[in-house]
Structure 1
Amino acid sequence: MSASRVLVLNSGSSSLKYQLLDMRERSRLAVGLVERIGERTSRLRHTCLTSGDTRERSGPIADHDAALKAVAEELDQDGVGLDSPELAAIGHRVVHGGMFFTEPTVVDDEVLAEIERLIPVAPLHNPANLTGIRTARALRPDLPQVAVFDTAFHTTMPESAARYAIDPKIADRHRIRRYGFHGTSHAYVSRETARLLGKDPSEVNVIVLHLGNGASASAVEKGRCVETSMGMTPLEGLVMGTRSGDLDPAVIFHLARVGGMSMEEIDTLLNKRSGLFGLCGDNDMREIRRRIDDGDKEAQLAFDIYVHRLKKYIGAYCAVLGRVDAVAFTAGVGENASTVREAAVAGLEQLGLVVDGELNAAHGDGPRLISPAHARVAVAVVPTDEELEIATQTYELVAKND
């Protein structure tokens, strides 16, 4: 296949993130973000990485169609436009693929219809993802559009891990099961961790800890996900920036019956006003650590709850995997908060987990080990790259079908 560029689109309800990559060299040519789509204060920030130029434009951008056309104009100005013969495909991040989509998929009308049918289980994300795909198809109907699903990596979980303990007929009727999210990140980081160890992914068992404002853990056995912390929605699992994570379901009934809260109010509470933010009023780990250093007990408790949940999942996934070769920290908190990494493995020496204080405190841009050489289990920091993962899956699929 002569064309080697892939445009990656991540379409949100009022935003459009994009990256243009050359897959021969696995390099980025341009990156950008359109935000506040549909408002008078819309803004586009575009950076051409070959020249280093950054440009901004502000003013009304009515919809995603107008946003993508504005992106096309910026790319044209750099000589890497949407009409370039070098563009092989457009890769789209789609949050929810259910059980139907287990791998990257070239988009056609049937695929669009199935993504639309999944809207009830991803009402905040799939509609925006669909808008981005439809807009891109209208602009370049001749070009392969590939959907890469956040949930796909987790479809290898056994039924014992994916099923909730409720009536299967009711569960199947309403598509209730554990799907997991952040799949492109977990796939990329687990594979890069194996590479860091000098092994093939099929040879290693890895616990991946994706710790950002959204946070999730996965147990990856020989390159395949066998367990993950997020469930039917991204609310389950670890303590997050604004999400509660694991919660007794009866809390919801209690808030409705005794607290007099509506379902919408409870939804907002658990998704937007809980987690670190709900515990101490901050969801930025840097600010929480600053407050702890100043003696703030509320921030300290929030940090302790966050780490306790994280440590509990590490221990559980050690049990699930049986043998663990590495634990990999990634995403904003995982890559940058040395205090979180240190606290998460403290006391787990019997499981083979320990970090080297000097290595853990050192800054670095690439994948690196932070455990001592004698450690039974490697502890690593592996920067995630979801856009590169989407571009890679897109390019490999299109090349295979060429």
Structure 2
Amino acid sequence: MVLNSGSSSVKYQLLEMTDHSRLASGLVERIGEEGGVADHAAALRQVSAELRGQGLGLDSPELAAVGHRVVHGGTRFTAPTLITDDVLAGIEQLVPLAPLHNPANITGIKVARELRPDLPQVAVFDTAFHATIPESAHRYAIDTAIADRFAVRRYGFHGTSHAYVSRAAAKLLGKEPAEVNQIVLHLGNGASAAAVRGGVCVDTSMGLTPLEGLVMGTRSGDLDPAVVFHLQRVGGMSTDEIDTLLNKKSGLLGLAGANDMREIGRRMADGDERAQLAFDVYVHRLRRYIGAFTAVLGRVDAIVFTAGVGENSAAVRAAALAGLEGFGVVLDPVRNAVRASAGRLISAENSRVAVAVVPTDEELEIARDTYALAQGRADARGPGAAG
């Protein structure tokens, strides 16, 4: 079972690991809100009841392990990790780095451990795939003593997606991950880019938090840090107000009043100038990172699009890659326009760089990591794992 516990929701999937088929999936929302369930314990009991109605159940003797998505692993947790009391305490210590996410993840872990204390439970961290980034890429140019004291560095996020997609893209090309240099673009409501050299992440766009980098649905992405001081001094805004502005009222929403790329597209077709500007800013930022990560990698074998926008917006893909023929990138407009649920190449035959669309599957990645670790496979732990 894979659990993704948010502050007011629990997403779950139950997978059969012999063939990776999905036996059940669902979402419990409005936890702690009027009309919803009281708390996460009640939510998981509801999940168990729903599954039991399908002949399954959280108390099933066939359940082998529970995998939990945890947003921030810091520098301590750099691989899937069996959850113990010590590990849980370590995740709690990282709450200041992910105050909106880790507490909810922790709650889900605690409740699941209470319900099934007999099962191996595994934490899979969003930050783990990026733990291989060299110090030259993850260190910010601020006083090192202050940075180290407060754990300020680039961590990166969406790591589970980047790991799954980069491996699937290599398979699509008929190669091993170690043979392929890729730029992976995870474009959903949250968005991030990763430079992956031979299966190993060497740079990523998100930083200390998921705010840095690409333009997102409601997040600003990159901006001059002095914007914050300006808004405090001149605008009279508080730290909390600026935090809300940059995380929840910026990005596409701030530029165009909508955070859904489909709505942006509809408004562009109607001649909406704000929507067009939002699209142009979004694409410009994408192109900057494609160019930067091309320089970081030196040789790019593939550019890979994934997540909601990346998988479904032919317009974003086309605009992001337009004019990059000098980099060896040639998109096939017919292939790009085709909608399909499977991974596919959308580059032209004469393109030196493969361009691919690969649907992400973070739940399957978490399930694989969890099952492997629960089965005691030493290779699943990797360097830096705890527990």
Question: What TM-score results when the alignment is normalised by the length of structure 2?
Answer: 0.97
Q: Counterpart in 1 of 2:45?
A: 69
Shift of 1:81: 1.3
For 2:144 and 2:253, how far apart are their aligned partners in 1?
A: 35
Match of 1:373 among 349, 362, 370: 349
Deviation sequence 1:129-188 (CA, Å, 0-9, x none): 000000000000010010000000000000001100011111111010000000000000
Shift of 1:77: 1.4
In structure 2, the residue corresponding to 1:178 is in which secondary structure? coil
Q: Counterpart in 2 of 1:155?
A: 131
Q: Counterpart in 2 of 1:306?
A: 282
Asked if structure 1 preserves the Cα contact closer than 8 Å seen for 2:330 and 2:350, the reply is no
Match of 1:26 among 16, 20, 23: 20
Shift of 1:40: 2.8
Q: Counterpart in 2 of 1:129?
A: 105
Question: What TM-score results when the alignment is normalised by the length of structure 1?
Answer: 0.93
2:58 counterpart of 1:82 = yes
Shift of 1:113: 0.5
Deviation sequence 1:82-122 (CA, Å, 0-9, x none): 22222110000000000100100000011001100000010
Shift of 1:388: 0.4
For 1:34 and 1:75, how far apart are their aligned partners in 2?
A: 13
Shift of 1:68: 0.3
> Which structure carries more relative contact order (alpha carbon 8 Å, separation 6+)?
2
Deviation sequence 1:10-31 (CA, Å, 0-9, x none): 0000100000000101110000
> Which structure features the higher share of strand residues?
1
Asked if structure 1 preserves the Cα contact closer than 8 Å seen for 2:72 and 2:125, the reply is yes
In structure 2, the residue corresponding to 1:308 is in which secondary structure? helix
For 1:156 and 1:102, how far apart are their aligned partners in 2?
A: 9
RMSD: 0.8
Match of 1:40 among 34, 37, 40: 34
1:350-361, aligned counterparts within 5 Å? 350-361=326-337
Amino acid at match of 2:22: R
For 1:85 and 1:201, how far apart are their aligned partners in 2?
A: 36
Q: Counterpart in 2 of 1:242?
A: 218
Shift of 1:401: 5.0
Shift of 1:196: 0.2
Unaligned runs of 5+ in 2: 379-387
Q: Counterpart in 2 of 1:319?
A: 295
Choose 145-154 or 345-354, whichever is displaced more: 345-354
For 1:298 and 1:128, how far apart are their aligned partners in 2?
A: 36
Amino acid at match of 2:117: P
Amino acid at match of 2:306: T
1:205-216, aligned counterparts within 5 Å? 205-216=181-192
Shift of 1:397: 1.0
Q: What is the percent sequence identity of the aligned residues?
A: 72
For 1:401 and 1:69, how far apart are their aligned partners in 2?
A: 31
Q: Counterpart in 2 of 1:194?
A: 170
- Count of residues in correspondence between the two structures: 378
In structure 2, the residue corresponding to 1:310 is in which secondary structure? helix
For 2:287 and 2:372, how far apart are their aligned partners in 1?
A: 36
In structure 2, the residue corresponding to 1:87 is in which secondary structure? coil
2:3 counterpart of 1:9 = yes
Shift of 1:400: 2.4
Q: Counterpart in 1 of 2:385?
A: none
In structure 2, the residue corresponding to 1:209 is in which secondary structure? strand
In structure 2, the residue corresponding to 1:316 is in which secondary structure? helix
Amino acid at match of 2:186: H
2:271 counterpart of 1:277 = no
Amino acid at match of 1:76: R
Choose 137-146 or 293-302, whichever is displaced more: 293-302
